[in-house]
Amino acid sequence: MISLRYHIVSITAVFLALAVGVVLGSTAISGRLLSGLSDEKNSLAQQVNDLQNDRNALNAKLTEADKFAASVGPLAVKDGLADRTVVLVTTSDARPSDRDALTGMLKSAGASVTGEIQLTDAFADPSRGDQLRDLVARLQPAGSQLPTAGDPGTRAGGLFGTLLLLNPSNNQAQATADEAAAALAGLSNAGFVKATSGVKPAQLAIVLTGGAAIGDSAADRAATIARFATQLDRSGAGAVLAGANGSANGTGAIGVVRADTNATSILSTVDNSDTPAGQIVVVMALREQLEGRSGRYGVAGNAEASSPGPAG
């Protein structure tokens, strides 16, 4: 006769066997799983190592390319802007090192830099747009006309064009020295610009920006600079909007210009002016402006070419 104790012992033995089987099975599975994960980890580590090596190799090539461009740049642009004058307008995020390198390239091309105007952060601040627009109207030199567009970027571009650029038809100043000094002083006192002393009007202009704008008002700021540069181009013999890496995307002024066919039909843009190669292209683009042509140059996806092609 089978007793209750026998049943309990049997059931206990069954559960004990199951438990032992589960432990032994899970141990074997865990071992295989850990082994597989270890192999995958080693494979991923090797891929990361390969990618790092590839990146280092590409960086080395870029460094050598920059050195080469910097060494041949002065020869490549020599006399390209001989006896031409250029005024430089920089935004608050433009890097001083890029400005200095570009100034050196302009001098190698035979151009004279007549001065620099730095637009402050307030210039493109949407909250101060009405103030800038009203101030521009008050500072307008006698006899000059501002563009009919109501946005502050275009209106400011019209004023700056009168102050900073020579009339392309007769190569004469479009405002007297006193008018220009008074207007720049008014803009400076209001916190919109910083001007170097003795700025003189030039035939050509470069608007130098940084990379992509950031923040909630990035799009509005980029649009202000884009419209400013476009209108500035209309006031003289030509202008180029140049920016560092990232300036050609949707939150950069160059990106805004390249999305507007009316702007790209007159204003040239260069999206890699933070490199020696890009600085060479800025000079070439200025030369192209003198010939009545424009283009979108650089390395971004919305550039049409790396540099201007031959005339004709």
Residue 308 — left, alpha, or beta (φ > 0 → left; ψ -120 to 50 → alpha)? beta
Query: In degrees rounded to 5, what are phi and psi of residue 297?
Result: -120, 150
- Higher pLDDT, residue 91 or 5: 91
Tell me, yes or no, whether 306 lies in a domain: no
Per-residue model confidence (pLDDT) at position 309: 83
- With CA atoms as reference, report the closest residue to 88 among 79, 76, 101, 78: 101
Tell me, yes or no, whether 103 lies in a domain: yes
Per-residue model confidence (pLDDT) at position 245: 85
Tell me, yes or no, whether 86 lies in a domain: yes
Tell me, yes or no, whether 149 lies in a domain: yes
Tell me, yes or no, whether 10 lies in a domain: yes
> pLDDT tier at 60 (50, 70, 90 boundaries)?
low
Q: What is the DSSP letter of 246?
A: T
Q: Please indicate, yes or no, whether residues 15 and 119 belong to a single structural domain of this protein.
A: no
Place of tokens 């843009």: 269
Global pTM reads 0.80
Q: Please indicate, yes or no, whether residues 70 and 152 belong to a single structural domain of this protein.
A: no
Cβ contact 125:151 at 8 Å:
no
Rounded average pLDDT over 225-233: 97
User: 165 - beta bridge partners?
Assistant: 202
Neighbours of 45 (CB within 10 A): 10
Contacts of residue 259, Cβ cutoff 8 Å, sequence gap at least 6:
302
Walk across the sheet containing 85-90 and list its strands.
193-195, 112-119, 85-90, 204-208, 238-242, 268-270, 296-297
Rounded average pLDDT over 54-67: 55
pLDDT in tens, 76-129: 788 999 999 999 999 999 999 999 999 999 999 999 999 999 999 999 999 999
Q: Please indicate, yes or no, whether residues 173 and 89 belong to a single structural domain of this protein.
A: yes
Amino acid, single-letter form, for residue 103: T
What is the Rg, in whole angstroms, of the alpha carbon atoms belonging to the chain?
Answer: 31
Q: Please indicate, yes or no, whether residues 266 and 194 belong to a single structural domain of this protein.
A: yes
Tell me, yes or no, whether 173 lies in a domain: yes
Q: Please indicate, yes or no, whether residues 44 and 101 belong to a single structural domain of this protein.
A: no
Q: Please indicate, yes or no, whether residues 113 and 198 belong to a single structural domain of this protein.
A: yes
- With CA atoms as reference, report the closest residue to 305 among 290, 288, 167: 288
- Higher pLDDT, residue 1 or 172: 172
Residue 278's domain comprises 80-297
Q: Which of 36-45, 61-70, 200-209, 256-265 has the lowest mean pLDDT?
A: 61-70
CA 121 to chain centre: 16
Kindly report the CA angle at 170 between 168 and 174, in degrees rounded to 5? 70
Rounded to an integer, what distance in angstroms lies between the CA atom of residue 50 and that of residue 56? 10
Rounded to an integer, what distance in angstroms lies between the CA atom of residue 273 and that of residue 241? 10
Q: Please indicate, yes or no, whether residues 87 and 17 belong to a single structural domain of this protein.
A: no
Number of domains in the chain: 2
pLDDT in tens, 64-91: 455 555 556 676 788 999 999 999 999 9
Contacts of residue 270, Cβ cutoff 8 Å, sequence gap at least 6:
240, 241, 242, 243, 254, 278, 281, 282, 285, 297, 298
**E-strand stretches of the chain:** 85-90, 112-119, 193-195, 204-208, 238-242, 268-270, 296-297
Q: Please indicate, yes or no, whether residues 44 and 176 belong to a single structural domain of this protein.
A: no
Q: Please indicate, yes or no, whether residues 156 and 248 belong to a single structural domain of this protein.
A: yes
Q: Please indicate, yes or no, whether residues 88 and 63 belong to a single structural domain of this protein.
A: no
Q: Please indicate, yes or no, whether residues 59 and 153 belong to a single structural domain of this protein.
A: no
